[in-house]
Amino acid sequence: MDHITFLVAVVIVTALAFDFTNGFHDTANAMATSIATGALKPRTAVLISGVLNIVGAFLSTEVAKTISGGIVDDTLVTPEMIFAGLVGAILWNLLTWLVGLPSSSSHALFGGLVGAVWVGAGSHGVHFDKVVEKILVPAIASPVVAGIAALGATYLAYRITARARQESVTRGFRLGQIASASLVSLAHGTNDAQKTMGVITLTLISVGALGHDAGPPVWVIGSAGLAIGFGTYLGGWRIIRTMGKGLTDIQSPQGLAAEAASTTVILTSAHLGFALSTTQVCSGGILGAGLGRRLAEVRWGTAGRMVVAWLITLPAAALVGGVSAGVVKHGGNAGTVVIALVAAAVAAFIVLASRRNPVHADNVNETHEVTIRATEPTRVGSAA
């Protein structure tokens, strides 16, 4: 416990705060299609997803090891750099949540960490070959693979059930969606909770509390699982609306196909240690499912905005992480306090702005767009 200084404790708390934002930012990955098709009621969906995210956190630690000892040189990393990187990731998560864009929490974390280490330790502190191998290549391949798999599965689902009664088909696929959405939640916990585990483990390695090849301790696994599970339970309704209604009008066979394809890709990559974006995988699955149904409408404008967000997530988070690292590096403890206060102020502003047009469990399926109004209307329910 001598290694757990005040700064290390602050970094751990900040990492768990990121994990929390990851949870409500990425709830849509698992449950958006099930909520959109009516397979699950909104609050039931986020409860199931939250519990299974916690369970999934205990299934593997391969992705955590990729982060703690893969993309950056852990011998050069300091807690100050990790703190700065987390600030970049959290602010990007909150900004994209505000506008309802399903960007990648994973890439926000990687970008913030790479930017902070680059500024704090120099370019040699970043293993760019590992960034390409473990992050960029999976980022390109995974949504394409999920989309193709979902397209094929959707086509087959409609061909096989073409002569069946519509009511029976809908009921059967909705029951299947409960299972497939649950598997996505389990896979999400397995992949995304590990990223926070990796960050905390990297922090502990940087101060000598763990050896250089150490995996995450049990208390790290448990706390990361609880943080992402709690965030998931609160429900990122703004992004659920975009993914459930914004990309295409999902029917239950499409929902099952998209979820099954996404689960397969996520669990396979987690086993191999690829820290991919579950957001990109699930979005690719939904687009593929939309293309697989004849005459289905795909809203390419929304898809285009999502792709733009994906492209700028890494550099945007890296920029914030790098600036934060520069302030912390030259300002010491005072710089750390300044960055913490600025980040808290920006986060509070974003949360207040979200209340101008709240999205919640009762209105999440009413429209496919998320907007920010200039004046605050009469509010019904709580914003999320």
Kindly state the helix (H) or strand (E) to which residue 79 belongs, with its residue range.
helix 79-98
Nearest to 285 by CA among 168, 153, 116, 182: 153
Give strand pairing partners of 298. Answer: 248
pLDDT of residue 205: 85
* Cβ-proximal residues to 200 (8 Å cutoff; 6+ apart), any chain: 11, 12, 15, 16, 216, 220, 223, 224
Check if the beta carbon of residue 32 is closer than 8 Å to that of residue 177.
Answer: no
The pTM of this model reads 0.83
Q: Which two tokens stand for residue 304?
A: 């285009």
Check if the beta carbon of residue 274 is closer than 8 Å to that of residue 136.
Answer: no
What span, in angstroms and rounded, lies between the C-alpha atoms of 9 and 323?
22
Q: Which two tokens stand for residue 115?
A: 């930017």
Count the alpha carbons within 13 Å of 192 in the hemisphere toward its beta carbon.
41
Give, for all 384 residues of the chain, the pLDDT tens digit: 455 678 888 899 999 999 998 888 877 677 888 888 888 899 998 999 899 988 988 887 666 666 655 678 878 888 889 899 999 999 998 998 888 888 888 889 889 989 999 999 898 888 888 888 878 888 888 889 999 999 999 999 888 888 888 888 888 999 998 888 888 888 878 777 778 888 898 888 888 888 877 778 889 989 998 999 898 888 688 888 888 777 787 888 888 898 889 888 887 877 776 767 778 888 888 889 888 887 667 788 888 888 888 889 999 999 999 999 999 888 888 888 899 999 999 999 998 998 888 888 888 887 767 766 654 444 444 444
Nearest to 75 by CA among 168, 212, 257: 212
Reduced to 3 states, what is the DSSP secondary structure of residue 298?
strand
pLDDT of residue 61: 67
Phi, psi of 374 (to 5 degrees): -75, -30
Reduced to 3 states, what is the DSSP secondary structure of residue 57?
coil
If one counts every other C-beta atom within 10 angstroms of the C-beta of residue 137, the result is: 13
Reduced to 3 states, what is the DSSP secondary structure of residue 248?
strand
Burial class (CB in 10 A: 0-12, 13-18, 19+), 370: buried
* Cβ-proximal residues to 272 (8 Å cutoff; 6+ apart), any chain: 62
